[in-house]
Amino acid sequence: MKNFIPALVTSVALVSFSTIAIANDTLSNSHGFYIGGNYGYLKLDGDDDFEQDDDHDIKQGVIGYRINQYLALEGSYIDFGRYGNGVTSAKTDGYTAAIKGTIPLTDRVELFAKAGQLWYSTDYSVASYSDSTDDTGVFAGAGVGFKVTENFLLNAQYTWYDVDLDAKSATDSTSTNTNTDFNQASVGAEYRF
């Protein structure tokens, strides 16, 4: 019995210090910078000649700052790739700024949603005429993240972008402004500092 009480006190003290250390480690990783990247597919949805049925690759680089475990500010560069058909084609890329909300489901799984602004540039070609245009749009997305370690995550997400493709006619100076949705399904990775 004399050896049992010191062993019990020592065990309780070790568990308490371990719990405090884990809590401090979790709290220290609840905010700060992160970087990441996404790779996936782009589907266009609109009433224009740029729409096509095939999915195309999309690449995105991400940088963000987690204010706390629930809220982050995020920016990215995104390459939507080239799309269209033999007569009309376009290539779009741009930058985003977003607010991202996260809900931890377990220690390893979290859901997130984000919404923000897209600034984009489109180089397009209609028959033998080509030009470029700059514009802005809004976007929203949601996904799920899986913590491989406390700092490294894998994710899957879907994002919708509301864009306008403004193509000028080769025969006159009028432009055709079409409302087109970009739909992105992608997988990615994130590293939290």
- Give the domain CATH number at 142: 2.40.160.20
Domain with 10 in it: 1-30
Structural domains counted in the chain: 2
If you average pLDDT over every residue of the chain, what do you get? 81
pLDDT at 14: 47
> Do 140 and 172 fall within a single domain?
yes
Of the pLDDT bands very low, low, confident and very high (cuts 50, 70, 90), residue 5 is low
> Do 66 and 148 fall within a single domain?
yes
> Do 110 and 123 fall within a single domain?
yes
> Do 131 and 40 fall within a single domain?
yes
> Do 64 and 26 fall within a single domain?
no
Rg (CA), the chain: 24
What is residue 172's DSSP assignment?
S
pLDDT at 62: 97
In the block, tokens 């740029």 appear at: 50
Within 8 A by CB and 6+ apart from 90, the residues are 50, 82, 83, 84, 122, 123, 124, 125, 165, 167
Higher pLDDT, 109 or 2: 109
pLDDT at 15: 45
> Do 10 and 57 fall within a single domain?
no
Mean pLDDT to the nearest integer, 34-62: 79
Q: Which helix (H) or strand (E) holds 87?
A: none
Buried b (16+ CB within 10 A) or exposed e, 33-72: ebebebebebbbeeebbbbeeeeeebebebebebeeeeeb
Among 42, 57, 124, smallest CA distance to 88 is for 124
> Do 106 and 163 fall within a single domain?
yes
Kindly report which listed range (12-26, 116-130, 133-147) carries the lowest average pLDDT score: 12-26
- On whether the CB atoms of residues 73 and 102 are closer than 8 A, the answer is no
Kindly report which listed range (72-76, 84-88, 101-105, 142-146) carries the lowest average pLDDT score: 84-88
Of the pLDDT bands very low, low, confident and very high (cuts 50, 70, 90), residue 171 is very low
Kindly report which listed range (74-83, 88-97, 173-182, 183-192) carries the lowest average pLDDT score: 173-182
pLDDT at 21: 42
- On whether the CB atoms of residues 126 and 165 are closer than 8 A, the answer is no
> Do 103 and 21 fall within a single domain?
no
pTM: 0.73
Of the pLDDT bands very low, low, confident and very high (cuts 50, 70, 90), residue 155 is very high
> Do 17 and 81 fall within a single domain?
no
Among 149, 187, 159, smallest CA distance to 94 is for 159
62: helix, strand or coil: strand
> Do 70 and 112 fall within a single domain?
yes
